[in-house]
Amino acid sequence: MHGKYFQLPKSSVISVTLLALTPLIALPLWYFVQNKSVEWYRAISFVSIGSIFAAVILHFLHTNNNTFLDAEHYHFNVWGIIAGIIFSLLLHFLHPGKSKFDSLTIVTADYIHNVVNSFTLLVAVLALPEMWLPITISLVLHELVHKAGNYGLFLSIGLSPKKALILIMGGIPMFLILPILQTLIPLKGKVIPFLSNFASANLLVMSFLVLYSMNKKKSLTYKEWFMILLGTLPAIFINFIAHAH
C-alpha cells in the first residue's frame, strides 16, 4: 500500500486537505470568547465536556457497525484503553505545573486522533472512491465537533483562549504526515486500534477529571448539567448522519 499513499488520487488529496482544515474551527471560538467572564468559560467548558463524552462513547458503541465509515471504528483495544487511562491519571496527578500536564494529555489525545482520522479517511476513500464526498463530509463534521470540544476543554483547565488556539492549530500537520508515518511505522494490525483507543481514553478520563474538579470548586447546578446534556447533541446528530443506513 506504500505506493498508493505516495500516488494518491485527487479525491483523496482533497479529502485529507479538508480534514486538515478542521482545526480552523478554533478561530471563531477564540474570537467568541475574547473578553468573556470566568462564568462564560465555565459554561463553555460544560458544553465541551458533553460534546467529548458523546463523541467518544458513540465512537465505542459503533465499533461493530458495517457502514462506509467502518474503518474509523476499530474494535476495542484493551491495552490502548489501559495505557490511555494510566497516561492521563499519571500526568494529572503530577502536581508541579498541573495545568501544563493536563494540557499535554489533551494535546496527545488530539494529535493522535488527527493521525488516526487521517488514516481512516484515506483507507475509506481508497476503498470506496465513488463515495469519497459523503465519507469526507461525515468525517469532517465529526472532527469539527472534536476540535470544538477540545478547545473548550483547554479553557476549562485554565489555558488562555490564545494558547488554546495555538495548541489546536498546532495539530494540523498531524493530518498530513501519514504518508511519511506509513513508511516508518506499519500502520496495520493493532497499531491504529491501539492509538485510537489510547487517545479516546485520554479525552474521556480528562473530561471526567475536569468535571470533578469544577464540581469540587463549585457544585454543579441543574442548569449546568443541562448544558452538559446540550453539548452532547452536536455529536449525536453528526453520528446519526455518519452512520445513516
d(CA 238, CA 144): 10
pLDDT digits (tens, 9 = 90+) for 41-54: 888 899 999 999 98
Yes or no: say if 98 and 92 are a contact pair by the CB < 8 Å rule. Answer: yes
Q: Is residue 227 part of a domain?
A: yes
Is 13 inside a domain boundary? no
Q: What are the grid coordinates assigned to 213, written together? A: 474538579
Mean pLDDT of the chain: 83
Structure confidence at residue 129 (pLDDT): 85
- Is the dihedral angle over the CA atoms 223, 221, 208, 61 positive or is it negative? negative
Overall domain count for the chain = 1
Q: Residue 147 pLDDT more than 90?
A: yes
Angle between helices 98-127 and 191-217 (to 10 degrees): 140
Question: Residue 81: inside a domain, yes or no?
Answer: yes
- Domain presence at residue 1: no
Among residues 129, 105, 133, the alpha carbon closest in space to that of 198 is found at 105
Over residues 73-106, the pLDDT tens digits come to 456 788 999 999 999 999 888 866 667 788 999 9
The verdict on residue 12 lying in a domain is no
Distance CA 187, CA 189 (A): 7
Confidence of residue 9 (pLDDT cuts 50, 70, 90): confident
- Beta-carbon count within 10 A of 57 CB: 16
Residue 142's pLDDT is 85
**117 domain residue, yes or no:** yes
Cα–Cα distance for residue pair 202/187, rounded to 1 Å = 20
Higher pLDDT, 179 or 136: 136
Task: Kindly state whether residue 30 falls inside one of the protein's structural domains.
Answer: yes
According to the 3-state scheme, what is the secondary structure of 41-61? HHHHHHHHHHHHHHHHHHHHH
CA 86 to chain centre: 19
Q: Tell me if 126 is assigned to some domain.
A: yes
pLDDT at 189 over 50: yes
Residue, of 61 and 228, whose pLDDT is higher: 228
Percent of the chain with pLDDT over 90: 36
222 lies in which domain range?
19-242
**Stronger pLDDT, 11 or 74, i.e. the higher one:** 11
One-letter amino acid of 13: V
